[in-house]
Structure 1
Amino acid sequence: MIQAQTAAPPHAKVTAILLFTTLMWGGSFLFNKIGMREVPPVHFFFFRFALAALLMGGVCLPRLARLNRHIAVRGAVVGLALAAVNLTFVLGVSGTTISRAGYLNNLFVLFIPLLTFALWRERVDRVTFGGIALAVVGLWALASGGAEGFNQGDLLSTVCALFIAIHIIAVSRVLRDEDVYLVTFVQFVTVAAVGLVLCLVLPWPEFTIGRAGAWSLAYCALFPTVICFTLQNAYQRFTTPTRAGLIYTLDPVWSMLFGVFILGERLTPRELAGCVLILMAVAGPLLARLYLEQRHRRLYRLDGAEGT
């Protein structure tokens, strides 16, 4: 199993695997959009995670004896945050283009420092403030560039970015040394349970899952859910958060390429400018932090060399 590795894998391998996860996550925008042509968004959300929970349960069969109340409670807490992420994700993608949704989802990088400041008064640096200001300009360009302006799908995609930030913070604050496979399994079960409740409470519309819907559900349950979460949990710990964040900024690039070349989506020049500004707003602070990390590392090495 992946988690059994004790030695850190080569940096190139870690980067390649995390890049692969961004490609699969980018594909989830496409397959959600295709699948929801046949299956209503909330029901697609439920079926995806019910199937993912079954698949992850099979992976975790040898580990289920170690599932205890501690893991169940902590997995359920982060699972509720993950449910909020994916519910707003499917509702957002169903109401806007996957190109716009991908860039709006990426705003989670800027929401994280704002939330940590609001909750724990952690300082927000000037570079991050600059990124937030640039993101606001990008949002304005995106909103004024489309035929419908900033629609409900765009709003839900932005809210989804907020919930992504909450989920990331919850994982870092709640989880410690738990078995990542069992925690992931509990998360999926929790999300599926939320989806089931919503499906029972809301009216059940008539729909038929055809070939496109079935393949879309299978892809979304297996690749961006079971495989991506497992790879992320197993390999992200071997790189810095800054490097991982920079790699993850490729998600909206893939979603836009899939939207343009497969779904035939087109962005107006102002919409495209808005997407570029949002990407710069997200990547800029991360690049600045990466530069500072490398600079501090070089200074540390120089100090160590002088000390010897």
Structure 2
Amino acid sequence: MSKQLQSDIVLTLVTMIWGSTFIIVKNAIQSLPVYNFLFIRFLLAFLLLAAIFYKKLKKIDKSTLMAASLIGTMLFLGYAFQTMGLLYTTASKSGFITGFSVVLVPILEAILLKRKPTKAATVGVVLAFIGLILLTTNIDLSINIGDFLTLLCAFAFAMHIVLISKYASKMDTYLLATVQIGMVALLSGIVSLIFEKPFIPTSLDVWGAIIITGVFATAFAFVAQNTMQAYTTATHTALIFSLEPVFAALAAYLIAGETMSIRAIIGGAFMLAGIILSELPEKEPEKR
């Protein structure tokens, strides 16, 4: 099995985990402030990874620490801007604008990493974006501060993917993931102390959500993403991650009985077609 195929499989698994835990997170933050939840979730993941990779952490160098801190800051800003944006815009528009990161990634990758996407990947991005439009309902063309904040969220998530692609092949990916998770925990804790009234939850359901998301959707997912992105492009990663709302919709259907519209199903098909198309090899130019 090629490294590219391995990375596709693992990144798809990560996307499935994120999508399937969306409803778990949604239920948990009904009784726990958002950043309070993020702090505990990411702190649990950091402590778990720190215990596993403590020997590596003792020998971490400055360049890895700085790169991982920058990546972690971008990841935190993605969550922060998305949460702030939701105060002023609808959930459907938030999902649509956040998904715009699938378009931003190839642009940022071309500018920052000097890697132009293949023609197949470009068409794949277009199909995936059309799928996001179809999957996200009740979109209007008005713009407000919430939409702008959510656009900043999409930019931050896109930068997170591109920066991982930049450093994953040069640095220890286990350390990259561990430190960036720790950075999100630190920043979430600070924001929670300033703007929320943080507390330790007592509900078993909330702790179940924290453990599931902390272990699988954070510790495993980000270690897997950082490691697998060393074998694929940022654009290809973004295309796979664009399937998250599809998996979220499937999980909502299976767990909560929420129905999927025909439009949503067609949108998911467009996104899947975009990913499959991006897998096609680039044709070699014919020699004269």
Question: Under TM normalisation by the shorter chain, which class is it?
Answer: 0.7 to 0.9
Partners in 1 of 2:231 and 2:110 — Cα distance?
A: 26
SS for the counterpart of 1:295 is coil
Judged with a 3 Å threshold, the aligned counterparts in structure 2 of structure 1 residues 134 and 11 are, in CA distance, closer, same or farther, namely closer
SS for the counterpart of 2:65 is helix
Q: In the alignment, what sits opposite 1:28? A: 21
Partners in 2 of 1:140 and 1:170 — Cα distance?
A: 28
Tell me how far 1:247 sits from its aligned partner: 3.9
Tell me how far 1:273 sits from its aligned partner: 2.6
Residue 50 of structure 2 is aligned to residue 57 of structure 1: yes
Contact 2:246/2:268 (<8 A) preserved:
no
Question: Structure 1 stretch 240-249 or stretch 208-217: which is displaced more?
Answer: 240-249
Q: In the alignment, what sits opposite 1:199? A: 192
From 258, 273, 276, the equivalent of 2:263 is 273
Listed as ranges, the gaps of 5+ residues in structure 1 are 1-7, 304-308
Q: Which amino acid aligns with 1:256?
A: A
Higher helix proportion, which one? 1
SS for the counterpart of 1:50 is helix
Per-residue CA deviation, residues 97-134 of structure 1 (Å, 9 max, x unaligned), is 6x886665443211213445677898787747955984
Q: In the alignment, what sits opposite 2:32? A: 39
Residue 279 of structure 2 is aligned to residue 290 of structure 1: yes
Contact 1:76/1:186 (<8 A) preserved:
yes
Partners in 2 of 1:103 and 1:158 — Cα distance?
A: 10
Residue 211 of structure 2 is aligned to residue 222 of structure 1: no
Judged with a 3 Å threshold, the aligned counterparts in structure 2 of structure 1 residues 273 and 206 are, in CA distance, closer, same or farther, namely same
Tell me how far 1:74 sits from its aligned partner: 1.2
Judged with a 3 Å threshold, the aligned counterparts in structure 2 of structure 1 residues 45 and 85 are, in CA distance, closer, same or farther, namely same
Please give the residue correspondences for 1:9-158 in structure 2 after superposition, counting only pairs within 5 Å: 14-89=7-82, 105-116=98-109, 127=123, 134=130, 138=134, 141-143=137-139
Q: In the alignment, what sits opposite 1:3? A: none
Contact 1:102/1:253 (<8 A) preserved:
no
Per-residue CA deviation, residues 243-289 of structure 1 (Å, 9 max, x unaligned), is 6555434322210012233234346x5xx636744873x55655444
Partners in 2 of 1:30 and 1:139 — Cα distance?
A: 17
SS for the counterpart of 1:143 is coil
Tell me how far 1:157 sits from its aligned partner: 5.8
Please give the residue correspondences for 1:183-198 in structure 2 after superposition, counting only pairs within 5 Å: 183-198=176-191
Listed as ranges, the gaps of 5+ residues in structure 2 are none
Contact 1:45/1:195 (<8 A) preserved:
yes
Partners in 1 of 2:259 and 2:111 — Cα distance?
A: 38
Q: Aligned residue pairs: how many?
A: 283
Judged with a 3 Å threshold, the aligned counterparts in structure 2 of structure 1 residues 137 and 196 are, in CA distance, closer, same or farther, namely closer
Partners in 2 of 1:287 and 1:9 — Cα distance?
A: 16
Per-residue CA deviation, residues 209-247 of structure 1 (Å, 9 max, x unaligned), is 411111111111110111111222333434566665554
Partners in 2 of 1:286 and 1:246 — Cα distance?
A: 6
Partners in 1 of 2:76 and 2:109 — Cα distance?
A: 21
Judged with a 3 Å threshold, the aligned counterparts in structure 2 of structure 1 residues 57 and 286 are, in CA distance, closer, same or farther, namely same
Judged with a 3 Å threshold, the aligned counterparts in structure 2 of structure 1 residues 194 and 25 are, in CA distance, closer, same or farther, namely same
When the two chains are superposed, the root-mean-square deviation of aligned CA atoms in Å is 4.2
Residue 228 of structure 2 is aligned to residue 232 of structure 1: no
Contact 1:139/1:278 (<8 A) preserved:
yes
Q: In the alignment, what sits opposite 1:179? A: 172
Tell me how far 1:78 sits from its aligned partner: 0.8
TM-score (norm 1): 0.72
Contact 1:249/1:283 (<8 A) preserved:
no
Identity over aligned residues, as a percent? 23
TM-score (norm 2): 0.76
SS for the counterpart of 1:66 is coil
Judged with a 3 Å threshold, the aligned counterparts in structure 2 of structure 1 residues 259 and 23 are, in CA distance, closer, same or farther, namely same
Judged with a 3 Å threshold, the aligned counterparts in structure 2 of structure 1 residues 207 and 37 are, in CA distance, closer, same or farther, namely farther
Partners in 1 of 2:178 and 2:160 — Cα distance?
A: 16
Tell me how far 1:83 sits from its aligned partner: 0.8
Judged with a 3 Å threshold, the aligned counterparts in structure 2 of structure 1 residues 20 and 152 are, in CA distance, closer, same or farther, namely farther
From 231, 239, 251, the equivalent of 2:244 is 251
